Amino acid sequence: MGSGKSTFGRLLARELDFKFIDLDKYIETQEGKSISEIFARYGEETFREVERLAVHESTKSGKAVIATGGGVPCHFDNMEVMNKYGLTIYLKVSPEALTDRLMPAREHRPLIAGKTRDELLAFIKTTLQQRTPFYEMATLTADTTSLSPEDSVRIVLQAVQSNHT
């Protein structure tokens, strides 16, 4: 949440000449509802099941860069499936930087709507503590806290090329 996955994903897909899939947008199109609406109407459990199905479907779409929501790796067999069918990348960002990025748009994100800055920072720290073991299952980790999206893509491409040559 807030690490820049969608921006990074679009840039990486363009560099690789791959299709780009934003999993949240994919779900919204499939369901005909916004993520916030799915959360509000059906709850997180139903949303996570819809998300799981979207992960399974999207990994079969050929050469693509898929930007997932921050909770995707932590539920069901999502991380296992993504690692089986592709290369996964953990975009690591400090809690403070995530707070700065998320404060302006928090009302549009169901899990953080209405939180003060201090509440948001505490929530991010707790959430990262829970999610980091799943994130660390990724093929690559890139600390992008102080990098532009373009620099993040360049560093990841270099890492991928050095690991596959």
CA distance 18 to 12: 8
Q: pLDDT tens digits for 5-44? A: 999 999 999 999 999 999 999 999 999 999 989 989 999 9
**Structure confidence at residue 165 (pLDDT):** 54
pLDDT at 116 over 90: yes
**Structure confidence at residue 108 (pLDDT):** 82
CA distance 99 to 96: 5
Is residue 101 a known part of a binding site?
Answer: no
Is residue 69 a known part of a binding site?
Answer: no
Would you state the CATH architecture of domain 5-148?
A: 3-Layer(aba) Sandwich (3.40)
Q: Is 110 exposed, middle or buried (0-12, 13-18, 19+ CB in 10 A)?
A: middle
Q: Is 55 exposed, middle or buried (0-12, 13-18, 19+ CB in 10 A)?
A: buried
**Structure confidence at residue 164 (pLDDT):** 66
What is the four-CA torsion angle of 136, 83, 26, 49, rounded to 10 degrees?
Answer: -80
- Count of all residues that appear for the chain in the document: 165
Per-residue pLDDT averaged across 142-164, rounded? 92
Is residue 9 a known part of a binding site?
Answer: no
Is residue 5 a known part of a binding site?
Answer: yes
Q: Between the CA of residue 51 and those of 37, 54, 96, 128, 129, what are the distances in Å? A: 14, 5, 27, 20, 22
Q: Where are the domains of the chain?
A: 5-148
Is residue 70 a known part of a binding site?
Answer: yes
Q: pLDDT tens digits for 60-103? A: 989 999 999 999 999 999 999 999 999 999 999 999 999 999 99
For residue 98, report the phi and psi dihedrals to the nearest 5 degrees: -60, -40
**Structure confidence at residue 36 (pLDDT):** 86
pLDDT at 56 over 90: yes
Is residue 4 a known part of a binding site?
Answer: yes
Is residue 109 a known part of a binding site?
Answer: yes
Is residue 94 a known part of a binding site?
Answer: no
pTM given for the model:
0.91
Is residue 125 a known part of a binding site?
Answer: no
